[in-house]
Amino acid sequence: MIPGMALSVWFVVKIFFLIAIGVYIVFAFVVVRQVGLMTDTLEVGFETPVRIVAWGHLLFAIGILILAILIL
Amino acid sequence: MPDIFINSEEAPVKKVEKEIKKHPKEVHRLEGHSHSPLSSFCYFPDGVQFVAKDSQEKIVLLLRRHPITNVPWIVVAILMLFAPSVLSFFPLISFLPANFQLVAVIMWYLITVAYIFESFLDWFFSVYIITDERVFDVDFVNLVYREISEANIDQIQDVTVTMGSVIRTLFDFGDVFIQTASEVPRLEFEAVPDPDRVAKILRELRVEEEKEKIEGRVR
């Protein structure tokens, strides 16, 4: 196989990975909004941990995107 | 025409409500009262606020599906957590370079976390609320779709309790179906703990509503 062609194959795979993580970030953002909607609907005294997990999940997903850009 | 029978006794729920008004700390001694926000059966819960609740309305019962109903998704989550370790024996992604493999595994764990969190949110926020005036069924159908069905206590026509399997009998949980005369013909409380007591509380509240109507009281 030609080295340049192999490189471009992995470049395409990288783009697919980045798109997948990008879609996941959108999903994680929707989860944050969903948690906001849910905690506005019902307050039982457990809203802060739920919000922290939702935001942590979003930040973690963004971290993975940055990691993927750096190492792939 | 003279009254043949006058029931001067108050419904037990109303009695409890009045007792709590007089002595607020008494609520902590009630059977079924819980301070855990993760409780699936809470009688006269503290500090619960609900978007559709009126300021004068008192929450009598907050219900969720029985915790045992979470076992299926917990088992799936455990399998998902251990899947990368197990699958390492089978070279499924070994054709990828090491850095791609690392990102793929991290993405898998990210999806696992999302699955766990979504399943928890679905259980935690899908609640059934009984107030002294109304009954609510709060459903979060998907990520952004919320459905709140409600019926007035005096519109309840029939309450049916079903407990149909060994697991349900063992852990004392079942479905409570509430037939109503409101726009929502039927409210379903699925897999709630102690369904007989839920039905009893609803019956007491209905009796109290009837009495309020007869006496011309609002509350």
Contacts of A34 in chain B (CB under 8 A): 121, 140, 143-144
- Residue B8 vs residue B122, higher pLDDT: B122
Q: Can you give the residue range of the structural domain that contains B91?
A: 71-120
The verdict on a CB contact (< 8 Å) between A21 and B97 is no
Q: Are residues B186 and B99 in the same domain?
A: no
Distances A46 to A33, B19, B20, B94, B188 between C-alpha atoms, Å: 17, 28, 24, 42, 25
Mean of the per-residue pLDDT values of chain B: 84
Task: Render each residue's pLDDT in chain A as its tens digit; 72 residues.
Answer: 555 555 688 889 999 999 999 999 999 999 999 999 888 888 888 889 999 999 999 999 999 999 999 998
> Does B6 fall in a domain?
no
Q: Which residues of B touch A61 (CB under 8 A)?
A: 110
Q: Is the pLDDT reported for residue B5 higher than 60?
A: no
| pLDDT at position B185 | 87
Shared domain check, B132 and B211: yes
More confident site: B10 or B96:
B96
Query: B101 with B37, same domain?
Result: no
Same domain, B130 and B116: no
CATH of the domain at B172: 2.30.29
In this structure, the answer to whether residues B91 and B177 fall within a common structural domain is no
Count of alpha carbons within 13 angstroms of residue B88, beta-carbon side = 9
A14 chain-B contacts, CB cut-off 8 A? 100
Q: How many angstroms away from the CA of A15 is the closest CA of chain B? A: 12
Q: What's the whole-number mean pLDDT along residues B61-67? A: 93
* Cβ separation A21–B107 shorter than 8 A: yes
B205 and B104 fall within a common domain: no
What pLDDT is attached to residue B145? 80
pLDDT confidence of residue B129: 93
Q: What's the complex ipTM? A: 0.86
Give the pairing of strands B146-152 and B41-43: unpaired
Query: For the segment B48-59, what is each residue's pLDDT rounded down to a tens digit?
Result: 888 877 888 888
Task: Measure CB to CB from residue A41 to each of B45, B47, B138 and give the nearest one.
Answer: B138
Query: How many structural domains compose chain B?
Result: 2
Kindly state whether residues B75 and B106 are assigned to the same domain: yes
